[in-house]
Structure 1
Amino acid sequence: MRILGVYIENIRSYRQNLIIFPPRGVTVVHGEVGSGKTSLLMAIEFALLGLPGGPSRSLFDAYKEPRRADLLRANTSMGRVRLLIKLGSRLYVIERRITRAGDYEGFAGLVEEYEVVDGKVNPLD
């Protein structure tokens, strides 16, 4: 499995960002303090595994054991993460959304599935 890209909207320090990862090799996430490295990894974790609900807690607890409400950018009502993953010859798009109340819109499942054949991307039913 390889993560090819992630679209992050209203998650922590990200407003609307598309991040494309190299199709081969090792990916290293680096940057200045406060540039969004942890937010990027938290967004990917949220898309793949989800997070528990419930109200936000102390700042320390929000980093140690984040909840959905801890991910949402301040002064926004909805956030989402779309993850593009390649597994063999198939591409998967996984999406999760969150509201200010900490509710899910969608689920951690397959949103879209495609197969790559001879360099062409074909949607699967």
Structure 2
Amino acid sequence: MAAKQPPPLMKKHSQTDLVSRLKTRKILGVGGEDDDGEVHRSKGLAAGFRHHVLRGCHHGIALIMWNALYTAEKAIIRWSLLAEACYFAVQFLVTTVSLVESSRIATGAVLLLVSRALFILISIYYYYQVGRRPKKV
């Protein structure tokens, strides 16, 4: 019995490879220009997905704060207050950068920045107060 010969390998033409690659990049939204001259960029996160991530962050911080209410350990309370202060600091920085980039400052945005700065100060104050040693009487 004679061994079967494998079918001959088919080579793709480089032109179709290039077109296929460009179509794939266009669908993915990365690199290159299309026929209209528009430059494709990475699409990143969908608009709705960002809101889900933000709600998730809020739930995480809320759970940390809720559990800190029912504990007597200073270390857990301090870490919770520090996490809260960091969260508000990131919000403050992001809001500030977006306001500077848009070069529009509304009264509501300034009020938001002031309230976040106040929350940061309160969280840090309680963080240090919980960590202090009690005075001996």
Structure 1 or 2: larger strand share?
1
Scaled to the shorter chain, the TM-score interval is under 0.3
* Greater relative contact order (Cα < 8 A, sep 6+): 1
Structure 1 or 2: larger helix share?
2
TM-score scaled to structure 2, two decimals?
A: 0.19
